[in-house]
């Protein structure tokens, strides 16, 4: 008897996790004619929709808009002195639908996908136990099970920190009011964005950063530019120091003891020191995998350590790129591979095929929504050199571009292009400055398309736009 005979419900594809990644997998296979169900124990829409990308960007936009108005003579006199905190928080609440998932759940069902409320656990090949409010039930997949459970915040092992009840990104994006004093542990993207956000809403923010700079995985000028912007916004940035002990007093305040002998008094502590895959309670041991670890996958997101080719893992859970847009990209490739294999077609993931998420290796775009913004795609100069490329890098002051100068008085920012000299193609590009997130897709096309520089020279940027920085970079290169 087939194992699926014991199931109460059977679908072609079962996805665990109803975030953007899982939704994309299910939607794409359904559009191809397969049946699909999504299992979700929390809110349909996932981490990004309620506790990460959407609420943080909703709260970061008011100070960015205010800064833009202040930077233009003729507009600065017409704006208030500071962000309206109550209105900004209300705007955030509207974007997260007051943490209700009715609309998202309705979209899932209207797309022909079954939403199973509960926690999914693997109990065998293509078999899951779903535990919700009622009795657990067994659900089976004819073709594939896809794990899209995302990641959760890592709280650093600081003595006493658990007793302080530190914020993670969830509390940091969902709090109903700004703390008077906020300590941020960590100097990566989450720490920088939430420090900027709460400072703009009235908190006195101090960042405690173990390394000597912020954003150490980016080009070095990014950390320096963002640190300067944070400090101008009132954030105290302390680098080269780390918390050694934490405690909370009788009156509710918290104290961080730092390893340089100083102390930091605050009302809340935000831990922004990384993410770990949410695989602890998925029943991975029942299919020969280790719980709590990231899942190794091929470029079609098929888990390589499981025989039979039926288990896939997309998004943060496979630890390739912890970015929503890259997870959704993986989801599209994964779904196309599942559909192709179900139809009996041989799928051998190759660069730039529809069932291969190969951009993960060298063409990942990302935007940091601080003031100033930072955006990058592809390889940094240091990484490109480590990988053995023949590298030449050129830089340009973004404020010297006419379009940028017109957009904001005193515009400051940087642009850097990393070129593979042997092939004369762009390996990476990084910008800092107001609204540079809107510049990065052109760079992404250049990197993914491996557009030769002499061809890129014919892509004429409109005048006067900030995109003219492309012409300036190519001129700096010598074209």
Question: Phi/psi of residue 377, each to 5°?
Answer: -150, 145
Per-residue pLDDT of the chain (479 residues; tens, 9 = 90+): 354 566 789 999 999 999 999 999 999 999 999 999 999 999 999 999 999 999 999 999 999 999 999 999 998 888 877 899 999 999 999 999 999 999 999 999 999 999 999 999 999 999 999 998 889 999 999 999 999 999 999 999 999 999 999 999 999 999 999 999 999 999 999 999 999 999 999 999 999 999 999 999 999 999 999 999 999 999 999 999 999 999 998 888 999 999 999 999 999 999 999 999 999 999 999 999 998 889 999 999 999 999 999 999 999 999 999 999 999 999 999 999 999 999 999 887 677 788 889 999 899 999 999 989 999 999 999 999 999 999 999 999 999 999 999 999 999 999 999 999 999 999 999 999 999 999 999 999 999 999 999 999 999 999 999 999 999 999 999 99
- Burial per residue of 177-209, b for 16 or more beta-carbon CB atoms within 10 angstroms, e otherwise: ebbebbbbbbbbbbbbbbbbbbbbbebbbbbbb
CATH (residue range 372-477): 3.30.390.30
Question: Phi/psi of residue 407, each to 5°?
Answer: -70, -40
Distance between CA atoms of 233 and 367, rounded to whole angstroms? 19
Hey, what are 14's tokens?
Answer: 């079962």
Q: Which of 338, 339, 387, 337 is CA-nearest to residue 362?
A: 387
Rounded to the nearest angstrom, the gap between the alpha carbon of residue 273 and the centroid of all alpha carbons in its chain is: 14
Distance between CA atoms of 142 and 249, rounded to whole angstroms? 56
What is the reported pLDDT for 192? 98
Listed in sequence order, the residues at least 6 apart from 117 whose beta carbon sits closer than 8 Å to its beta carbon are 40, 41, 132, 133
Contact 330, 147 (CB under 8 A): no
Q: Return the DSSP state at 295.
A: P
pTM: 0.94
Q: What is the CB neighbour count within 10 angstroms for residue 348?
A: 10
Q: In what order do the strands lie in the sheet with 268-271?
A: 236-239, 204-209, 181-185, 268-271
What is the reported pLDDT for 5? 61
Listed in sequence order, the residues at least 6 apart from 135 whose beta carbon sits closer than 8 Å to its beta carbon are none
What is the reported pLDDT for 1? 35
Q: In the chain, what are the helix, strand and coil shares in percent, each to the nearest 5?
A: 35, 25, 40
Distance between CA atoms of 37 and 204, rounded to whole angstroms? 46
Domain span(s) for CATH 3.30.390.30 in the chain: 372-477
Q: Which of 217, 215, 225 is CA-nearest to residue 192?
A: 215
Three-state secondary structure call for residue 171? helix
What is the reported pLDDT for 390? 97
Q: In DSSP terms, which residues pair with 396 in a beta bridge?
A: 415
Checking phi first, is residue 77 left (phi over 0); if not, alpha (psi -120 to 50) or beta? alpha
Domain span(s) for CATH 3.50.50.60 in the chain: 3-45+101-152+276-359, 161-273
Assign domain 161-273 to its CATH superfamily.
FAD/NAD(P)-binding domain (3.50.50.60)
Distance between CA atoms of 131 and 119, rounded to whole angstroms? 5
For domain 3-45+101-152+276-359, the question of CATH label 3.30.930.10 is answered with no
């Amino acid at each position: 008897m087939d194992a699926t005979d014991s199931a109460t419900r059977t679908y072609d594809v079962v996805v665990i996790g109803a975030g953007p990644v899982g939704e994309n997998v299910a939607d794409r296979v359904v559009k191809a004619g397969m049946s699909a169900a999504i299992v979700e124990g929390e809110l349909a829409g996932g981490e990004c929709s309620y506790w990460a990308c959407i609420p943080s960007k909703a709260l970061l936009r008011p100070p960015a808009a205010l800064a833009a108005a202040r930077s233009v003579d003729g507009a600065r006199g017409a704006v208030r002195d500071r962000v309206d905190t109550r209105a900004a928080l209300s705007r955030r609440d509207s974007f997260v639908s007051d943490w209700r998932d009715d609309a998202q759940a309705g979209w899932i069902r209207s797309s022909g996908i079954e939403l199973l409320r509960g926690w999914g656990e693997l109990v065998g090949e293509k078999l899951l136990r779903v535990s919700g409010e009622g009795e657990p039930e067994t659900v089976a997949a004819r073709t594939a099970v896809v794990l899209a459970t995302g990641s959760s915040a890592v709280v650093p092992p600081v003595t006493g920190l658990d007793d302080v009840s530190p914020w993670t990104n969830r509390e940091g994006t969902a709090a109903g009011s700004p703390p008077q004093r906020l300590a941020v542990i960590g100097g990566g993207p989450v720490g920088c964005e939430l420090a900027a956000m709460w400072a703009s809403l009235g908190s006195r923010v101090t960042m405690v950063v173990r390394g000597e700079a912020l954003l150490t995985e980016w080009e070095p000028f990014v950390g320096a530019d963002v640190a300067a912007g944070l400090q101008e916004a009132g954030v105290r940035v302390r680098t080269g120091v780390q918390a050694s002990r934490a405690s909370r007093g009788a009156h509710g305040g918290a104290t961080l003891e730092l390893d340089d002998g100083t102390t930091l008094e605050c009302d809340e502590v935000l831990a922004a020191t990384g993410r770990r895959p949410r695989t602890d309670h998925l029943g991975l041991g029942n299919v020969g995998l280790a719980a709590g670890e990231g899942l190794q996958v091929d470029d079609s997101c098929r888990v390589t350590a499981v025989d039979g080719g039926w288990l896939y893992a997309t998004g943060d859970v496979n630890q390739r790129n912890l970015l929503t847009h890259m997870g959704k990209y993986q989801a599209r490739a994964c779904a196309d591979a599942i559909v192709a294999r179900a139809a009996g077609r041989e799928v051998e993931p190759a660069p730039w095929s529809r069932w291969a998420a190969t951009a993960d290796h060298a063409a990942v775009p990302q935007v940091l929504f601080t003031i100033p913004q930072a955006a990058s795609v592809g390889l940094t100069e240091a990484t490109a050199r480590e990988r053995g490329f023949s590298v030449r890098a050129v830089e340009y002051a973004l404020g010297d571009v006419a379009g940028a100068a017109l957009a904001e008085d005193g515009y400051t920012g940087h642009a850097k292009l990393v070129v593979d000299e042997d092939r004369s193609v762009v390996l990476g590009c990084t910008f800092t400055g107001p609204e540079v997130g809107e510049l990065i897709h052109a760079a992404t096309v250049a990197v993914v398309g491996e557009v030769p520089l002499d061809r890129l020279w014919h892509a004429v940027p409109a005048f006067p736009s900030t995109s003219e920085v492309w012409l300036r970079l190519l001129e700096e290169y010598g074209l």
